[in-house]
Amino acid sequence: MSPRSASVNEQLRRRSRERLLQATVELVAERGYEATTLGDIADRAGSARGLVSYYFPGKRQLFQSAVHRLMHHTLEEALEREPRTVDGRERLARAVDAILGLAVDRPVLMRAHMAGILQAEGFVQCPEQQRLAALLRDTVERYGSPDVDADYPLLRALLMGAVFAVALPGAPMPHTRLRAELFQRYGLDWELGLPPVGQAPGGSAPPREVPPVGQAPGGSAPPREVPPGAVRSADGPGSAGTAAAREAGSPARRTRPAAGEAVPPAGAAPRGCGQ
């Protein structure tokens, strides 16, 4: 029997590594980071326990690589899903939705990831992290950034902050509000990407259509609001009470948002989300 070629050996090593990364994601999502051991991961992957230390210096490095792999796959699937597009604004919207979606769908995993990258050792430089970084940089470039070297780290930081805010135990922010902030910052329409069904910025139901200012439904002018203390006479809005109010400097009408009207957010992502 002839020995395996170098290419076959490389393929087998890659598959073993992939199984370890997938097993890590599954177990940490099920049990949490602290309760997951390297032995558990090797057993789930169907690998010899010695292989874990062969591929990874330790548990933290293995876990970061596993999450970066998951993030890269998730982002790649979002960018390449049908209908495929080369539009930079649509691709950026898909990227934001993909990363925020991980924080919503896998909070235990993403909390552990955020905690890990805040340790003194910082980020793990691994092939998975580099592939994720390259994909995010390409997204920024296709969006039309005039300075990718400056804008890519900013996007990474904004996504990291959004993931932290969504996954924060006990006080999470609605991901729709964070999505609205990011979309506004980058000038993206709410309908781009994968918008939450039946929700508008802030997580509320979509605002009902509001008639133009000065018109009521049907096109007529709305009734004038009479301030407290005004005396309504048979002469209608031009009564002495409203005239007195005007003379006193108090507006006879008040402008306020219609009930149900949505107020847009003011202003608007890691090295853990790619460097």
At 235, is the pLDDT very low, low, confident or very high (cuts 50, 70, 90)? very low
pLDDT tens column, 101-112: 999 999 999 999
Q: What is the CA radius of gyration of the chain?
A: 27
End-to-end CA, the chain: 45
Question: What confidence score (pLDDT) does residue 9 get?
Answer: 77
Question: CB neighbours of 243 closer than 8 A, spacing ≥ 6?
Answer: none
Residue 254: closest CA among 212, 220, 216, 225: 225
pLDDT for 256: 43
> Which of the residue ranges 53-57, 65-69, 255-259 would you say has the lowest mean pLDDT?
255-259
Q: How confident is the model at residue 89 (pLDDT cuts 50, 70, 90)?
A: very high
In this prediction, residues 256-265 reach a mean pLDDT of: 42
DSSP 179: H
Which residues lie below 8 Å from residue 188, measured CB to CB, with a gap of 6+? 89, 92, 93, 96, 182
Q: Which residues contact 131 (CB under 8 A, 6 or more apart)?
A: 68, 72
Q: For the chain, give the mean pLDDT.
A: 79
Predicted pLDDT at 150:
97
Task: Name the nearest CA neighbour of 118 among 270, 275, 274.
Answer: 270
Q: What percent of the chain has pLDDT over 90?
A: 62
Note the pLDDT tens digit of each residue in 121-179.
777 789 999 999 999 999 999 999 999 999 999 999 999 999 999 999 999 999 999 99
- pLDDT mean over 5-14: 83
Residues 40 and 20: beta-carbon distance below 8 Å: no
Residue 193 has pLDDT above 90, yes or no: yes
DSSP 121-151: T-----HHHHHHHHHHHHHHHHHT-S-HHHH
**Share above pLDDT 70 across residues of the chain, in percent, rounded to a whole number:** 70
Pick the closest to residue 201 from 218, 188, 214 (CA basis): 188
What is the reported pLDDT for 2?
63
More reliable by pLDDT, 160 or 199: 160
Asked whether the predicted pLDDT for residue 85 surpasses 50, the reply is yes
The pLDDT of 213-228, averaged and rounded, is: 47
Count CA atoms closer than 13 A to 102's CA, side-chain side.
Answer: 32
Q: Cβ(100)–Cβ(107) under 8 Å?
A: no
Condensed to tens digits (0 to 9), the pLDDT of residues 27-42 reads 999 999 999 999 999 9
